[in-house]
Amino acid sequence: MAKITVNKDLASERAKCEFNVEELTNYLDGGRENTARRRRMEDKVLSVKELRDEIPEEYLSHKEKYENAIRKAVLFYKVQKSLDDPNQSDHERIRNSYRSTITSAIFKDNSPLTLHIVMFIPAIIGQGNDEQREYWLKRAKNMEIIGTYAQTELGHGTFLRGLETTATYDPATEEFVLHSPTLTAYKWWPGGLAHTANYCVVMAILYTKSKNCGIQPFIVQIRDEETHMPLPGIKLGEIGAKLGYNTVNNGFLGFDNHRIPRDRMLMRNAQVSKDGTFTAGANSKLTYGTMVYVRVLIVNNMANLLAKAVTIAIRYSAVRRQSKLKPEDPEPQILDYVTQQHKLFIGIATSHAYSRTALWLWDHYAKVTSELNAGKLDNLPELHSLACCLKVLSSVDAAVFVERSRLACGGHGYMLSSNLPQTYGLVTPASTFEGENTVLLLQVARSLVKAWQQMLNGRQLAPSMAYLADQKQLDRWDGSVNGIIRAFQKVARGKLAFSVANFEKYQKMGLSREDAWNKASVQLTAAAESHGRAIVVQVFKTETDRIASSLSPPLRKALDQLVELFTLYWALERLGDLLLYSPLSEVDVRDMQARYEELLEKIRPNAVGLVDGFDIRDEILNSALGAYDGRVYERLMEEALKSPLNAEPVNSSFHKYLKPFMQGKL
């Protein structure tokens, strides 16, 4: 094997690291065996050279990008399948795949099969009855059919009760008639819908016996299984180029009185009998279960994407030298600027915070799902609220810190060869899909207001909201992580109390409940956001304490520093709130600021080790700036030379336009 020459600054950073990087990787993976398994899988996938792109994706046309993505998706699926351990439960398979980012090595802009895996199959599992699961899951898991999740319409994404697609039951033929009565009723957005999927789960308003029975899921064939032509009564297409996700093949779909058999309604929750009698499910919101599942997965996806961005930016910052700190010294590594550390170390800490929180949430999700399967629905509202608020916070923070990582790389961060713009293109839609973030915060606020009322009535609160009942004053600011967590809880409680008071005040002033809610909604969403912050810091701290107790002292110290940095960063970001709702004084603020700066200094020698610990291979990073060897400038040039414009010294447009123009002949 050729010897890798590592940039000398990166090499000396690695020599400075105070903990064992491999131990950190094992900690993140959940054990040495998991690291080994993940690496074996990566080796196997990366050994398939047909999965690599010969021409960088960015130089392909829109159509070529899609065709190339499909070519790779099929091959990638087969390789993955050959590595699958059939003895794992679905729960274990997903948990064990939380640290896997290998998909990014194959697709810079995501796969056209994503929705099949992430929503179509889960929708059948969550919404299909036993026979439907038996039949459709086998076909879907074997890839005999490819599906997507078609819910959003041109006119409505958030407001599901406002969907216009109808499924009207006809007892004479025992069929549902699917129809899109208007342009705005067209399904719009589903990934893979345009040219990839031949089936989809369609969410439509069910009418039977002339009654609106709410939104229900239907499994609908949209293309012929042989010819792949759209079926009669179905209009399909692609929605066009986007900021990112361009290889996901998002599509539109309209129905013109398209008929499907009765057994195509997924009937795990609600049912329609042959004569058209509707039987409602135990809770109509169980129909929204697929969204809860994906919101839970998104938290982890955000942690992984952020780890990628911050790995690139930290390594680059160790290699890049710019300006002068002292006139007599050579140009320093930009990582030595404390402002650069302030920009980036929080990204490392945030990725850790959300990967710990994501695992915690996944285990909670699995527990509540098994209760739901046993008919116990009590914990569904709390799960919904938690999934909403953690999806919101993780997507907002990831977008901010990925963009900050890009900016921290100066001009080179603007290059597609840095892979930072594309990474931003992957994180930013998560603030919109699976429930637009403000809308989800309002759902969280709704659950908090309910909890507040329950508390006033002396009822017990769900565990994640129990702190609201803690009436004790926070007498003294002690600056400890646990003290700050309590202060965050006081902030959330105080903001909630304030918004509930406003909500009630507006009603007393004569506004309807809905208008009062709308008027109080800025405060309500702020309370929901604070509630989320309190949860994330607490889960980050308690889960790190729980899992890291057996680690070596140097690694334990490094992780504690990240937890403290994260806590202090948000305390300093939310000073106004803390000054309002906790006994924080000016001196305490100064102390916090000093401690935060001290932490930046302590983390500095470990910065490269911390991102190396994420163990994201070069093929996955896909970045000229972030590669392990730090050959930043050589790679930037190598990538520049791949531009098709560099294939010839003079472009034909010179003779056609520029020359006549410059010579006054055009």
Ligand X SMILES: Cc1cc2nc3c(=O)[nH]c(=O)nc-3n(C[C@H](O)[C@H](O)[C@H](O)COP(=O)(O)OP(=O)(O)OC[C@H]3O[C@@H](n4cnc5c(N)ncnc54)[C@H](O)[C@@H]3O)c2cc1C
Structure tokens at 523: 């405060």
Residue 293: Cβ-neighbour burial (10 angstroms; 0-12, 13-18, 19+): buried
- The HSE-up count of residue 434 (CA atoms within 13 Å, CB side) is 28
- The minimum distance between CB 134 and ligand X, in angstroms, equals 25
528 part of the interface to ligand LAWDYWNQ, by CB under 6 A: no
CA dihedral angle for residue 275, residue 278, residue 279, residue 282, rounded to 10 degrees: 160
The DSSP line for 392-446 is: HHHHHHHHHHHHHHHHHTGGGGGSGGGTHHHHHHHHGGGGTTTS-HHHHHHHHHH
- Asked if 441 interacts with ligand LAWDYWNQ (CB under 6 A), we say no
Q: Report if residue 442 touches ligand X, rule: CB under 6 A.
A: yes
Please identify, using beta-carbon distances, which residue of 141 and 595 lies nearer to ligand LAWDYWNQ: 141
Among 5, 12, 158, 212, binds ligand X (CB under 6 A): 158
**648 is annotated as an active-site residue:** no
Among the listed residues 113, 118, 296, 399, the single contact to ligand LAWDYWNQ using CB under 6 A: 118
Residue 389 and residue 531 in contact, taking contact as beta carbons nearer than 8 Å: yes
* Using rule CB under 6 A, residue 251 touches ligand LAWDYWNQ: no
By CB under 6 A, tell whether 402 contacts ligand LAWDYWNQ: no
Among 111, 127, 148, 152, binds ligand LAWDYWNQ (CB under 6 A): 152
The first and second tokens of residue 439, run together, are 């809308």
Among 68, 80, 168, 438, binds ligand X (CB under 6 A): 438
Shortest separation between residue 114's beta carbon and ligand X, angstroms: 8
DSSP collapsed to 3 states, 12-76: HHHHHCCCCHHHHHHHHHCCHHHHHHHHHHHHHHHCCHHHCCCCCHHHCCHHHHHHHHHHHHHHH
Crossing angle, helix 338-373 and helix 380-408, to 10 degrees? Answer: 160
| Site membership for ligand LAWDYWNQ, residue 94 (CB under 6 A) | yes
Among 14, 133, 446, 557, binds ligand LAWDYWNQ (CB under 6 A): 446
**Contact, 275 vs 99, CB < 8 A?**
no
Residue 80 interaction partner, one of ligand LAWDYWNQ, ligand X, none, beta carbon < 5-8 Å per kind: none
Pattern 492-511, binding to ligand X, x per CB under 6 A? --------------------
Residues 107-136 that bind ligand X (CB under 6 A): 115
| Closest CB 91 distance from ligand X, rounded Å | 23
The contact mask relative to ligand X for 184-213 (x = CB under 6 A, - = no) is -----xxx----------------------
Interaction residues for ligand X, span 45-74 (CB under 6 A): none
Q: Which is nearer to ligand X, 140 or 568 (CB)?
A: 140
- The burial of 397, by beta-carbon neighbours within 10 Å (0-12 exposed, 13-18 middle, 19 or more buried), is given as buried
Torsion sign (Cα): 242, 245, 249, 255? negative
From the list 158, 322, 370, 453, which residue makes contact with ligand LAWDYWNQ (rule: CB under 6 A)?
A: 158
d(CA 549, CA 157): 45
**Using CB distances below 5 to 8 A depending on partner kind, what does residue 639 bind out of ligand LAWDYWNQ, ligand X, none?**
none
Do residues 225 and 197 touch, judged by C-beta distance below 8 A?
no
What's the CA gap between 166 and 180, in Å, rounded?
7
Long-range residue pairs from 170-173, CB within 8 A, at least 24 positions apart, any chain = 170/259, 171/274, 171/275, 171/276, 173/259
Question: Which C-beta is closer to ligand X: that of 190 or that of 613?
Answer: 190
539 binds, among ligand LAWDYWNQ, ligand X, none (CB under 5 to 8 A by kind): none
Q: For residue 232, count other CB atoms closer than 10 A to its CB.
A: 9
Number of residues that bind ligand LAWDYWNQ (CB under 6 A): 33
Q: Give the binding range for ligand X (CB under 6 A) out of 83-91, 389-397, 429-437, 617-625.
A: 429-437
The residues pairing with 212 across neighbouring beta strands, listed in sequence order, are 207
Show Cβ contacts of residue 9 under 8 Å, excluding neighbours closer than 6 positions.
Answer: 318, 319, 321, 333, 630
**Chain position carrying tokens 């929901």:** 528
Q: Which residue has the tokens 């990839």?
A: 196
The one of ligand LAWDYWNQ, ligand X, none whose footprint includes residue 438, by CB under 5 to 8 A per kind, is ligand X
Question: Three-class SS of residue 154?
Answer: coil
Q: Which stretch binds ligand X (CB under 6 A): 183-191, 213-221, 627-635, 640-648?
A: 183-191
Q: Is the Cβ of residue 149 or residue 199 nearer to ligand X in the bound state?
A: 149
Assigned token pair, 315: 């390594």
Residue with tokens 């810079």: 108
Task: Number of residues interacting with ligand X: please give it, by CB under 6 A.
Answer: 22
Residue 345 and residue 401 in contact, taking contact as beta carbons nearer than 8 Å = no
Applying CB under 6 A, among 439, 497, 572, 636 the residue interacting with ligand LAWDYWNQ is 439
Tell me which of 285, 321, 602, 604 binds ligand LAWDYWNQ, using CB under 6 A: 285
Query: Which one of 434, 529, 543, 564 is the catalytic residue?
Result: 434
Residue 292's binding partner among ligand LAWDYWNQ, ligand X, none (Cβ under 5 to 8 angstroms by kind) is: ligand LAWDYWNQ
152 binds ligand X (CB under 6 A): yes
Return residues touching ligand LAWDYWNQ (CB under 6 A).
93-94, 97, 114, 117-118, 149, 151-152, 158-161, 191, 285, 288, 291-292, 294, 297-298, 301, 380-381, 384, 433-435, 439, 443, 446-447, 450
Return residues touching ligand X (CB under 6 A).
115, 148-152, 156-158, 189-191, 245, 250, 429, 432-433, 435-436, 438-439, 442
Catalytic residues: 434
